[in-house]
Structure 1
């Protein structure tokens, strides 16, 4: 599963100095998340967006016991890894690779980078947290070496409890990330203009 061709936009990989890997939410598509790039400060980036089989990365809540979401979750992480490999094969180093996701895609974004922590360009998670019925620190390794991460979320949110967001921020920080967490009262399950502006200033404007 999750074997669909990588969707691309922005600069060609062969000409780009930076790459942004964009992960859509449940029920959405690669084209949906790529359309967000028009609001981001990424004119010189190659944009890479995997697409989930049947538009979902894993079938159950991100808070379900991990075995319930297998093998989808492992395959979803592999799809992200293929996008990273495509950027690296084109000569883009990890410190120039960026990640962005919304909702289920934000959860997958954080899970991937935490399992492969290194100095990335930056990470944006619009409403998401690390995956599992609880956090499993033994799954995460590496050193973000100051990678900027922005996490924005609503309190409450119908899918992502703010407690998991805060726990994820704490764990990512222990791995060396520079995390900015912003919790908006009653924002709803969406992406706001303020979040986009913060992502631009904290991550893409660096």
Structure 2
């Protein structure tokens, strides 16, 4: 088991010029460099982009639906690295409502888990094929209020890693905390991000 070294890639103009941040969280086996181009697809040229890099390219070793302790300490370390990224942005005078988080697959699971443990008014959350982490959801982990934060959560049916039932549990939890959730299920879609999902994500970033 491992903890994550602090390695956060940045792209775009400084926060002092853009006033808004997009944090991109890569999937298992991928890299910060490989997810940064997603920002261009989402039309986020006017954002300062941040992409934390997982040590060994994996945020936690087992399925996101494994018993939580099996993924420790890697999972807690991953959540800490995302929090360091967010706190670093807030420390530069950027309001949380100008911070957007986006992730794919394992990165989408981390996006939903981090945001639900630190719920506040974010600019938006883009959860591309993911859901809250754990064999069973532990409501005691989730704190705060999203205050109407727009959330996009998408999934293929079936998906090889993420069951639709967990997406639905995640939607219910997020909505109970004040998020405004758009849920999209794509029958037969492979484990990828479709153009339609990109277009829906663009609308959240443009709002």
When normalised by structure 2's length, the TM-score is: 0.97
Corresponding residue for residue 130 of structure 2:
128
| In 2: Cα distance, 1:3 partner to 1:12 partner | 23
- How far off is 1:4 after superposition? 3.6
Corresponding residue for residue 90 of structure 1:
92
| In 2: Cα distance, 1:16 partner to 1:66 partner | 37
Corresponding residue for residue 205 of structure 1:
206
Unaligned runs of 5+ in 2: none
- How far off is 1:90 after superposition? 1.6
Alignment partner of 1:15: what SS? helix
Matches within 5 A, 1:40-79: 40-79=42-81
Matches within 5 A, 1:52-201: 52-201=54-203
Q: Deviations over 1:27-77 (max 9, x none)?
A: 000001101111112222110010000000000000000000000000000
| In 1: Cα distance, 2:125 partner to 2:202 partner | 11
- What count of residue pairs does the alignment treat as equivalent? 205
- How far off is 1:205 after superposition? 1.7
Q: After the TM superposition, which of the residue ranges 14-23 and 158-167 deviates more from structure 2?
A: 14-23
| In 1: Cα distance, 2:200 partner to 2:80 partner | 29
Alignment partner of 1:37: what SS? helix
Corresponding residue for residue 5 of structure 1:
7
When normalised by structure 1's length, the TM-score is: 0.97
Unaligned runs of 5+ in 1: none
Which stretches of structure 1, 4 residues or more, deviate above 4 A after TM superposition? Answer: none
- How far off is 1:87 after superposition? 0.8
- How far off is 1:181 after superposition? 0.4
Alignment partner of 1:14: what SS? helix
Alignment partner of 2:17: what SS? coil
| In 2: Cα distance, 1:186 partner to 1:156 partner | 6
| In 1: Cα distance, 2:97 partner to 2:142 partner | 19
Q: Deviations over 1:69-90 (max 9, x none)?
A: 0000000000000110111122
